[in-house]
Amino acid sequence: MDLEKTTKDVMLKAITNYAKEYSVEEKDAQLMIKAGDENCTPKYQVLVHNKFKKDVTFNEILNVKIDFLGREMIVSPFISSSLRKLRREHNCSYEDVNVLIYTKENTNHPNMYFFEGTKPIKPISFEYIFGQVK
């Protein structure tokens, strides 16, 4: 299983699904990954026009009731590790670690951007998250 490709596909599909749910273009729907605790356990949110709409679970992002393939168990440690790395690099509290996942017009891949609280800091690549796998 190519974790990076699978994760990109899941994120794109989720953005597409939430764009349909909220009747907006895909570029107007986003996912936010936040650190949920000191260990940076990922929490997920749906945003529309960069405004909070709802908290969601990983299974809701996958659009499944049960994740028989165990994708959350595989991907979550990499996400947590990356959130902790961002926290260390920027010397911030876990409450301020936010990664926005979004698409741009005429692209077929997700983009990620790190925010410290609400302050935009830097774009993040999927290599940043999954680099240690390769």
- The tokens for 93 are 């509290």
- The tokens for 18 are 């939430």
pTM here is: 0.90
Q: CA 113 to CA 125: how far, in whole Å?
A: 8
Using an 8 Å Cβ cutoff, are 99 and 83 in contact?
Answer: yes
Q: What number of other Cβ atoms are within 10 A of residue 23's Cβ?
A: 8
Instruction: Please report the pLDDT score of residue 120 as a whole number.
Output: 96
- Provide the residue-wise pLDDT of the chain in tens; the chain has 134 residues: 577 788 888 899 999 999 999 999 999 999 999 999 999 999 999 999 999 999 999 999 998 888 877 778 888 888 899 999 999 999 999 999 999 999 987 777 899 999 999 999 999 988 877 765 44
Q: CA 44 to CA 74: how far, in whole Å?
A: 16
Instruction: Please report the pLDDT score of residue 1 as a whole number.
Output: 54
Domain boundaries, the chain: 3-133
- DSSP-derived secondary structure letter, 69: T
Q: CA 106 to CA 110: how far, in whole Å?
A: 11
Q: How buried is residue 77: exposed, middle or buried, by Cβ count under 10 Å (0-12/13-18/19+)?
A: exposed
Instruction: Please report the pLDDT score of residue 133 as a whole number.
Output: 47
Instruction: Please report the pLDDT score of residue 92 as a whole number.
Output: 96
Contacts of 79 (CB under 8 A, 6+ apart): 33, 42, 129
